[in-house]
Structures are given as structure tokens and as C-alpha cells.
Chain A
Amino acid sequence: MATVVQVERVKVTVKDLKGKVDPDWCPGCGDFGVLAALKQAIAELGLQPHEVLTVSGIGCSSNLPGYLNTYGMHTLHGRAVAVATGAQLANHHLKIVVTGGDGDGYGIGGNHFVHAMRRNVDLTYIVMNNQVYGLTTGQLSPTSIKGMNTKSTPFGSVENPINPIPLAIAAGATYVARGFTGQQKQLVELIKGGMQHRGFALIDTFSPCVTYNHDNTHEFFKQRTRKLEEMGHDPTDFHDAMEKGCLWGEVIPIGLFWRYPDLPALDQLEPVLGEGGPLAHRSLGVAPDIAQALVNELM
């Protein structure tokens, strides 16, 4: 083993977390608010850039890792959660944040999303939910409201949208929240809470698309969203969480719906990780006595 050099823990500011390039999102895009909140959360948690791995898929919002000064993986469309699961299990000392959009996570990536929650993988998943496909220039998304006119539904969608909040609670996520980019302070706290939570944290975030979604705008959410903490909500009450999660209309709750704090994360349950540090840092090779035992099985 090489000697571990003690890295001086300098205080990381939001400015230090700026990536190599500026975002190419449309002016007014909600995603700016998510990026700002994530930087703020990382700085307030006192994490160093190298301790964080941000994993995304493909879409407007999935460009986020490039705008952040942490380790990043900009993977395939829909696959961020699967890649992040592998990375988390291979190096459980990394703080892993998954970022992406509603199409990426709830559509093409739906299978990985559900199973990562079932497994309670220690990931913080921020979905920038704008209820439309932006980068492909405005088609229906899994969270588009019924009746929405898009390029792929020019006469209005007849399909019901996914509601990620009750879906996530039912699937086994242990921290389920909804944020809104119009409520930055709350969003920072929700992200911090998710990153400190040991297990799968979903932070579905209304991040309005100014170009392709003229139904669910910043103004739309500003008028309807109401903070759960002001509604006397108990995030440890399963039934209350499911009930509040299903609300959609004149009042749309935002905040922490559900928290199951004592369930171990997948890496905590895996005996192979019991001792010896991250898998990624372990030396390779099979000890001679074990190798002999493996061969003896065949004799």
C-alpha cells in the first residue's frame, strides 16, 4: 500500500465548484437553479471536489456535471443510475450525486430507477423535472400532464403522467423529496439532506423549461407549490407521505415527503465490503492457499 498523503482540507466555496465551462442552457432555464443549489449544498457540507462524483445521463439537465468542479461521468441516455450504482459499490467512500431529467430517469431509465430504489443504493438522485423533452426540441415526457400539446402530441396527450413521489416511496427509496427551483433555500436543504442520508435519496425538482413547456411554467409552480413543513407533514408517516405525494392541483406540495432513516444502504449490507476499504483500492490477485482450494474443488 502506498502511504496516504493527508490532503489539506481547504474550505471549498461555491466559486471553487464552478466547472471548466459555463452552462449552455437557455436563459431562464430552471436547471441553473439546481446547479446553484447543488454547489451550495456541496460547499455547506464541506466536501472537497475530488470526494464527489456526479453522474448523469443525456439531456439538457444531464449536461450538469460539465458545469461542476467535481469528478463527473456523463453517461448514456437513461443509464446514469446503473453506472452510479456500480461506482458506489466499487468505491463506497465517494459521495455520488446523480443528475438528470424526467425523460432520462423516469422514461428510458425507468427500470434502473426502480431497482436502485429497491436496493436502497446510497445515491442522491436529483431529477430536473420539466415535464418535457427539451434537447430533442419538445416532445412528450413521462411526466407531461394529460392533454399537453407537444411536437409528438400535437392534438394533446391522452396518457396519464408518472407521479415519481409515490412511485419512489413504493419502490423502496428511503428519502423522497420534491424541490422547486423557485425555492432555492429549501432546495439546498433538500439536497444536503439527501447527500447526508445513507441510502437512496430522490429529489424530484420542478425545473421549468422556458422554451418548450408553456403549461408548467415558473409562474405555474410559484402559485401552486406549498411547503410540506408548513402543512404539518410528518415525513416518517408512510400513509401521510403517500397521500401528500398524490396531491396535484391547486396545491402541489414541495419538501421532504418520506424518510426511512434506519434502513441500511446496499453497501452496508454487502459482506464483501465489510472490511478492507473500497473495492477499487484493494490489491488484486488470489492468495496461493485460496487458489489451491479452488483447484481442489475440481479434482
Chain B
Amino acid sequence: MRRIDLAIGIGGAAGQGIATPGDILARIFVRRGLHVNAYNAYQSIIRGGHIFLTLRTSEQPVLSHGDKIDVLMPLNQDTMTRHLKLMRAGSAVLFNSDTVKPGVVPEGVQLCPFSVKTLAPTIKGDLVQNTIALAAILRLIKVDFEILEEILTLQFKRKGTAAVAENVGVARAGYDYAATHFTSFPFSLPDTGKRLAFFEGNQALAMGGAAAGVRFYCAYPMSPSSGVLHWMARHARQLGIMVRQVEDEIGVINMAIGAAHTGCRAMCATSGGGFALMSEALGAAAMMEIPVVCINVQRAGPATGVPTKTEQGDLWQVLGAGQGDYPRIIVAPTNIVDCFTLVPTLFNLVDKFQCPGIILSDLLLSEGRSSIDPDELDFSVPIDRGDVIGLNGDGPPVNGGFKRYLVTDSGISPRALPGTPGYVHVVATDEHDEDGVLISDEFTDPHKRQAIHEKRMRKMDGVLPLLPAPELHGATDAQVTLVGWGSTEGVIREAMQQLAGAGIVASNLQVRWLVPLHADAIVSILSTCRKVVIVENNYSGQFARYLRSETGIAADGHIRKYDGEPFMPHHIVDGVKAILAGSTKLYVPVHEIQV
């Protein structure tokens, strides 16, 4: 049987109600056990502009939002004008013919006009066209009307039975109209019998925090990271998490550090601009040896940049955040499951090594939505608080002399929480001796400074063996090895499938743990690869430079995109072909759709 691969595009201005039909479709798909990947291209505007939601479904995992649209639902003329020319044979376009005109139609594209005035003459408001289009789409893919009826009933229940009847009636009219006037797709949606969950990366990060036992979460609103704050705030009371919106990101990280010092697991999230403000305090957390986790959801920079567009442009910012050398652990989740599972893992590491941990996500991953097997959302994760005294308020009896920064072979010193009898000490952002006494002001001591600095930095030696080394995905003798980091895993793997169809064998090395880096493992993998091409969402090849600095490996080719939109699989396919043909070493695709 042919695999179903259906992408629905819904476009319009902000405020036209794109999210609701998108959510309903996604819910219908995942309840049948179909996989879904969704990406919403939007702008920093509350009303107006152009928003385009791509919702792609298949009975197999969907790795990216793909290259094509099978069903277009333009809610305004602008969307029709932008997207119709890119529609391919076999696709369908559903639109309200009262307000939207098609123009030149590519060959083989089925136009499905409907008149809202005719189908729903008595109903006021613009959202009715969404309901009709949604019903018509469901008819085209042969979903029973009862499923939509049930969802609409639930959705409009609060507004009373009249509203329910009205909306169900309109939907029925659209559904029946499609049945008699439009040609259905040549497949039916299967039902695997296994319901899937559907959520966005920010929710996954927040839920990962909950699973890790985060008790203190604070943030300053900043796109595209605010989804973490929203989830945390919504569930704060249910989960017993203190959630605070703070005056600025400097306050955010410092508040998190204060909470973490008393023994809470504390987390915060921001985007690149907010992260820049947090830099100094991350060094302070490392200096005082307080474990804290900060999420940076990257957006296109620099400065305010493009707040609603994606980029992998903060790698060097997080690598070098703050003054001086200090231990830090940095991880870039490569998919939505990672967003959930890496948070508890990182908390265990930062608790053990008493240093800051940074999660480097991006808009694509954090605001992109994916289906997931709910069994993968396991909240019963192992929790390791490390060498800490006073978690319950008390520690073993001690007769003074506690050395908070005791020099040890591992560099890890037992940590005592404020409030614990017998372990009184001061933690300081100034350089200090083993007992916390400053050696920075009076009588600076180079030997003590060296010893305590080495103790702190030595902790990193213990981190690397605990991190899984990256593994090559695909054939070891592939013609080309695509190296990526973080969110590009899905699109690279889909590009590999397309390349295989074109007779090009490709493999993928996706790097998740960035600091510390498994440099030796990477060298041993890449040294036998025939051609190394690095794929990343930034201008300067930030990962390429990092890889070279840590391994000495200079890639054979680069595929980079920095226009704000994420890669589509064919961008990578085209880049690989161009690089293999020797026509360029750096391929920068042009994004076809103006969004």
C-alpha cells in the first residue's frame, strides 16, 4: 500500500483563526494514530500580516514539515496569491469564492471554491469560512462527519446549544457540498488504534522540567520561549511549582540562582537577547557552584532580529557566555522527545557537578509541533541530587569547619544548603578559598587561585564519560555525511531518504551534547567518512567553526540557511547535489515561499 503523506497548508492574516482548524485536524489525525508534524510561519503581529500553518501527517513518523502542500486553505487573497503558484498536480485548493479569487492555476491542481454566502447565508462573522473549509477538507480525505460533529460540539458547548447546532449545520453544509462538487483524494486515512499525543517543543521542555522536579521556574516573556512560561504558569498549582514573571532576564537568572542555592531545582527560559543579559550570572552560578538550568530558544538575530523566525545563531554566544573560564554543560535537543527527556538528564548532571546547564533549542523545535507516542513521556525518571547536605532541612552532625569548596580529585565539593545547622558558610562570586573566604581583594594568592580554579574546571573531566557519544545514522561508507546539531535532525534525515531515491547514499551525524564535546568519538567517525557536509541554520557556520576548533576537522562542504525559515528537505538535497557536483562548497538555498 502506498504510504500516506498529506500536507495541509492553512494561510491568512493574524486574527483570521488559523490555529483552530489546525488544532482540530491535528487532533483528528493523532487520535487515529497518525503521526503529525506542524510548523507555523508567523510574524510579530497580533492582527494582519501573513501566517501559514503547515500540518503534515503520515502513518509513519513525520520528520519535517516537508516540501509540498497537498491541500491549501487560503483564508484570504494574499495567501492564494503567494501559495497557489507552488501547488503541484494532484493537490486541492479550498477557498471562499465570495472573497478570494484564484488567478492562474498550475496544471492538475483542483480548485474547490465554495460560497459562504450560499452555504451559510444567515451566519455572521469571518470564522464560518474556516468551519466550511475544514469540513470540506475532511470530506476530501474521507473522514466521517461524526468525528467533526463531536469536536465542534465540544468546542461550542460553552456557547449553548444554538451555537452548537449552527456550527454543526454549517459544517454539514460544507461537508455535503464537497461530496458533490469536489473530487476526493484517492486514499482513506487509516486508524492504527494507537492514539498519539501532540504537542510543541516548549511544552515538552516544560514537562521535562516538571519530570525533573523543578520547583522554581521564572522568566521574562520573550518569543519564542514564552511557551515554557505559559505551560509552567498553567500547571504551577497542580504541580507545586513556584512560577514567577520577573522584571528582566538579569533578575530571572539571579532569582533562579537564589532559589537553586536553597536546594530547589530551578529553571528559566529565554531567547538570545535575554540570554545575553543572563551571561554574567551564569558565570556567577559556576563560581558559587550552584546548579541551575537555562533554556535558550534561539531566534533570528542579532539584536531584536526577527522575533518570530528560527535560527541556530547563538552557538558561540552560549559557548562564550560571560567572562572567564567556567564549567558549563550545553545540550541541543534534536527532536521533541529530546526536549522532554534531556531536561531531567541535564538536571542530574548540573546537580552532580554544581554548575550551570544550558539547553539550546530554537524556534523550529520549540514552537514546532509533533506527534509522539505517549509512552515516551515517562515522568518516573531517575533523580540524582549529587553530593548535597540539608535537602530535608538537616544534615549529619558536624563540629564546624565545613569547607564548601573543598579541593577534591573530582573537583566536586559537598554542598550544604542554607538553613542547615552546623554548615554555615558564605558562597561568593569573588574568587575564594576552600572555606569560602575571599582571596580576591586583600592578599590575593596566586597559588590558592590556581588550585581553586583548577578544582572548578576539573569537574568537566567527569562530565564527558557520562554523556552518550554521537553515533552515525546510516551507512558507514555513504557518499556524503551530513553533520548537523540540534533541531535539524528531522529534516536532514528526510533529505537522506530523498537522496537515496536519487541514488545518493548519505549518512547523518547529529550532535546533541555540545559541551563537553565527544571530540574523539566525532573524529573517529568523521575521519572515515568520504565527504563531510555541515548543515546549519546560520550565516557563519558556527558549528563548522566549533567542530574545527575542537577536532581539527574542516568540512568538505556547507549548507547554510539564515533567512529565518527552517530548511525544507529539498534545500538539503539540492545542496548535497551541488556540493557533490563540485559546483560549490557553500550552498545557501533560496526559500521559495514569501512568508
Question: Which positions in A face B, CB cutoff 8 Å?
Answer: 1-2, 4-5, 7, 19-21, 24, 48-51, 53-55, 58, 63, 65-66, 69-76, 79, 82-91, 93-94, 111-112, 114-115, 270-273, 276, 278-282, 284-286, 288, 290-291, 293-295, 298-299
Interface flag for B250 (CB, 8 Å): yes
A272's partner among B212, B236, B392 (CB-CB below 8 A) is: B236
12 contacts between A and B (CB under 8 A): A50-B419, A50-B424, A74-B428, A85-B258, A86-B216, A89-B244, A91-B263, A111-B250, A279-B242, A279-B262, A284-B212, A285-B379
Interface flag for B377 (CB, 8 Å): yes
Interface flag for B380 (CB, 8 Å): yes
Q: Do B266 and A79 touch across chains, with their CB atoms under 8 A apart?
A: no
Please indicate the chain B residues that have their CB under 8 angstroms from the CB of A280 in the complex: 215, 259, 262-264, 391, 417, 419
CA distance A222 to B226 in the complex (A): 53
A111-B379 CB under 8 A given contacts A21-B437, A76-B429: no
Q: Do A66 and B426 touch across chains, with their CB atoms under 8 A apart?
A: yes
Which 7 A-B residue pairs are closest in the complex by CB-CB distance? A284-B213, A86-B258, A72-B426, A86-B255, A82-B254, A280-B263, A90-B259
Q: Do B215 and A288 touch across chains, with their CB atoms under 8 A apart?
A: no
A281's partner among B31, B198, B259, B393 (CB-CB below 8 A) is: B393
A108 to chain B, nearest CB (A): 10
Please indicate the chain A residues that have their CB under 8 angstroms from the CB of B244 in the complex: 89
Q: Do A282 and B215 touch across chains, with their CB atoms under 8 A apart?
A: yes
A87's partner among B198, B261, B392 (CB-CB below 8 A) is: B261
A79's partner among B241, B254, B379, B394 (CB-CB below 8 A) is: B254
Question: Which positions in B face A, CB cutoff 8 Å?
Answer: 30-31, 195-199, 203, 207, 210-213, 215-216, 218, 235-242, 244, 246-248, 250-251, 254-266, 280-281, 284, 288, 372, 374, 377, 379-380, 383, 391-394, 397, 417-430, 435-438, 441-442
Q: Do B419 and A94 touch across chains, with their CB atoms under 8 A apart?
A: yes
A290-B442 CB under 8 A given contacts A50-B421, A295-B377, A298-B374: no
CA distance A83 to B212 in the complex (A): 22
A284 to chain B, nearest CB (A): 3
A145 to chain B, nearest CB (A): 28
Q: Do B425 and A71 touch across chains, with their CB atoms under 8 A apart?
A: yes
Please indicate the chain A residues that have their CB under 8 angstroms from the CB of B218 in the complex: 86
Q: A79-B254, A90-B215, A279-B216 are in contact. List 5 more A-B contacts (CB 8 A).
A: A72-B436, A112-B251, A278-B419, A282-B240, A294-B235
Q: Do A66 and B242 touch across chains, with their CB atoms under 8 A apart?
A: no
Q: In the complex, which residue of chain A has the Cβ closest to the Cβ of B292? A: A86
B264's partner among A2, A82, A90 (CB-CB below 8 A) is: A90
CA distance A30 to B326 in the complex (A): 36
Q: Do B258 and A83 touch across chains, with their CB atoms under 8 A apart?
A: yes
A74-B429 CB under 8 A given contacts A111-B248, A272-B236, A299-B374: yes
Q: Do A82 and B250 touch across chains, with their CB atoms under 8 A apart?
A: yes
Q: In the complex, which residue of chain B has the Cβ closest to the Cβ of A69? A: B424
Please indicate the chain B residues that have their CB under 8 angstroms from the CB of A7 in the complex: 421
Q: Do A66 and B264 touch across chains, with their CB atoms under 8 A apart?
A: no
A299-B30 CB under 8 A given contacts A51-B419, A90-B258, A288-B380: yes
A281 to chain B, nearest CB (A): 5
Q: Do B394 and A5 touch across chains, with their CB atoms under 8 A apart?
A: yes
A134 to chain B, nearest CB (A): 12
Please indicate the chain A residues that have their CB under 8 angstroms from the CB of B423 in the complex: 50
CA distance A93 to B237 in the complex (A): 20
A75's partner among B197, B284, B438 (CB-CB below 8 A) is: B284
Please indicate the chain A residues that have their CB under 8 angstroms from the CB of B391 in the complex: 280-281
B470 to chain A, nearest CB (A): 29
Please indicate the chain A residues that have their CB under 8 angstroms from the CB of B257 in the complex: 75, 83, 86
Please indicate the chain B residues that have their CB under 8 angstroms from the CB of A20 in the complex: 435-437
Please indicate the chain A residues that have their CB under 8 angstroms from the CB of B377 in the complex: 291, 294-295, 298
Please indicate the chain A residues that have their CB under 8 angstroms from the CB of B438 in the complex: 63, 66, 74
Q: Do A94 and B250 touch across chains, with their CB atoms under 8 A apart?
A: no
Q: Do A91 and B419 touch across chains, with their CB atoms under 8 A apart?
A: yes
B259's partner among A71, A86, A93 (CB-CB below 8 A) is: A86
Q: Do A53 and B418 touch across chains, with their CB atoms under 8 A apart?
A: yes
A285's partner among B281, B383, B394 (CB-CB below 8 A) is: B383
Q: Do B393 and A4 touch across chains, with their CB atoms under 8 A apart?
A: yes
Q: Do B251 and A111 touch across chains, with their CB atoms under 8 A apart?
A: yes
A272-B210 CB under 8 A given contacts A94-B419, A280-B264: no
CA distance A94 to B419 in the complex (A): 6
Please indicate the chain A residues that have their CB under 8 angstroms from the CB of B374 in the complex: 295, 298-299
CA distance A271 to B212 in the complex (A): 21
Please indicate the chain A residues that have their CB under 8 angstroms from the CB of B261 in the complex: 73, 83, 86-87
A27 to chain B, nearest CB (A): 14
Please indicate the chain B residues that have their CB under 8 angstroms from the CB of A1 in the complex: 392
Q: Do B435 and A87 touch across chains, with their CB atoms under 8 A apart?
A: no
A287 to chain B, nearest CB (A): 9
Please indicate the chain A residues that have their CB under 8 angstroms from the CB of B425 in the complex: 71-72
Q: Do B394 and A2 touch across chains, with their CB atoms under 8 A apart?
A: yes
Please indicate the chain B residues that have their CB under 8 angstroms from the CB of A298 in the complex: 197-199, 203, 372, 374, 377
A286-B379 CB under 8 A given contacts A79-B281, A86-B216: yes
Q: Do B426 and A73 touch across chains, with their CB atoms under 8 A apart?
A: yes
Most buried by A among B239, B255, B281, B417: B255
A73-B258 CB under 8 A given contacts A24-B441, A51-B419: yes
B501 to chain A, nearest CB (A): 33
CA distance A284 to B241 in the complex (A): 10
B78 to chain A, nearest CB (A): 32
Please indicate the chain A residues that have their CB under 8 angstroms from the CB of B393 in the complex: 4, 278, 281
Most buried by B among A48, A111, A291: A291
